[in-house]
Amino acid sequence: MNIIIVFTFDVSLESWEKDKILNREVLLYKKLRENFDLNFTFLTFGNEKDDKYQYLFDGLQIIPIYKHAKKSRYKIINFFKSLAVCFRLRKKLLKNNLIKTNQLTGAIVGIFLKLVLKVPLIVRTGYNNYDFARYEKKSSKIIYFYYFLTQISLLVSDSYVVSSSIDKKSLENKFKTKGNIHIFPNWIEKINNSSKSIRYSNKILSIGRLEKQKDYSELIAKLVDSDIELDIIGEGSLKKRLINLSHNLGVKLQILRKVDFDKLNLIYQKYPIFISSSIFEGNPKVVLEAMANGCMVIVKNNINNQEIIKNGFNGILYSEDEDLVKIINLYLNDKDKRSKLVENGYKYLSMNNKLENYCQKEFDLYTKLI
């Protein structure tokens, strides 16, 4: 079985490596190759530099769009160039049995290939682009674009994969669908419940883009007049503002650079508590990964987090009017209470998010469509 994976528009293997997510993003396809002997063609928005990643696993073919067409500084031109490259290389792609997009923004290329190659198409989305654009108060043009892209993808694709039941309900309420939406929650590679690492006594961890969605300003403000230290792994436009805010409020903040997936798992294991202050989310990988590495998780009470965290059972949901310092200190100082939530987190992940189970579901979907 041969599968084309269409990358997110303007994303390459090289950019995955620069963003420190290459090992994690490729792991699913390596496991599918190992378990089911599948062959994959990665259609990336990179140049000839992507060819060097051929070592990732056997059965992998890499086709970088900008190796076959010079990249323009204008996105709309690059979009049409990507379609032209796909058409020129159609004979090389004819052996494939199925197309899957890695995110919604690769859907138009996926749809074009579906029409050219006459094979089934899976559009996979990690979050609801249309809802996120509205929450972030993007321009009306961007919101309409995501509405159109979502709608045409729902109607043309043979399967539309989302990461949460919340996303599925939202799509069914706002768009015309044909009953082809599947829920595949994000996966975790393994549960490190045997880790006996010594954790910090008063440090907590958060991971995310330093942007408004993550609401780090509000989180920092809540830690005023406490001994709690906050470490954030991430990059973004608000970095300087957050550092200045923490200095002005006397909050101990350290912003750390992104690290590779394997190193990140070890970093989780140094912290007793992981916190997510995001105003809205999809099916947050970092929350799942923190749980898998023995962190007790405290997350903002929003509908997507509610799908993962059962308050007081496998983590804590907090609202803006609660005393967050009091909640954090309660679990920092009571290891038994913290350990109970961590153990329940392991159980939740075992039932819902194991990579092996995800691979089986993905393979079953492939065989059903083909």
Q: Which tens digit of pLDDT belongs to each residue from 75-123?
A: 999 999 999 999 999 999 999 999 999 999 999 999 999 999 999 999 9
For the record, the structure tokens of 297 come out as 């998780």
| Model pTM above 0.85 | yes
Q: Which domain holds residue 175?
A: 2-187+354-369
- For residues 132 and 212, state if they share a domain: no
Q: What are phi and psi of 309, to 5 degrees?
A: -100, 125
- What residues does 275 pair with on adjacent strands? 298
For the record, the structure tokens of 335 come out as 């290891």
Give residue-wise pLDDT tens across range 287-322.
Answer: 999 999 999 999 999 998 999 999 999 999 999 889
Q: Which of 148-157, 183-192, 194-203 has the lowest mean pLDDT?
A: 194-203
| Centroid of chain to Cα 157 | 21
Burial of 352 (0-12, 13-18, 19+ CB in 10 A): middle
- For residues 177 and 319, state if they share a domain: no
For the record, the structure tokens of 359 come out as 């691979």
Check pLDDT > 90 for residue 193.
Answer: no
- For residues 138 and 166, state if they share a domain: yes
Give residue-wise pLDDT tens across range 114-173.
Answer: 999 999 999 999 999 999 999 998 999 999 999 999 999 999 999 999 999 999 999 999
Q: Is residue 57 situated within a structural domain?
A: yes
8, amino acid identity: T
Check pLDDT > 80 for residue 195.
Answer: no
Q: Is the distance from CB of 300 to CB of 215 less than 8 angstroms?
A: yes
339, amino acid identity: S
Check pLDDT > 80 for residue 196.
Answer: no
- For residues 224 and 269, state if they share a domain: yes
Write the CA distances from 117 to 65, 99, 110, 221, integer angstroms.
17, 9, 10, 54
| Centroid of chain to Cα 336 | 31
DSSP labels for 130-167? HHHHHHTT--HHHHHHHHHHHHHHHHH-SEEEES-HHH
Q: Is residue 192 situated within a structural domain?
A: no
How far apart (Å, rounded) are the C-alpha atoms in residues 310 and 304? 11
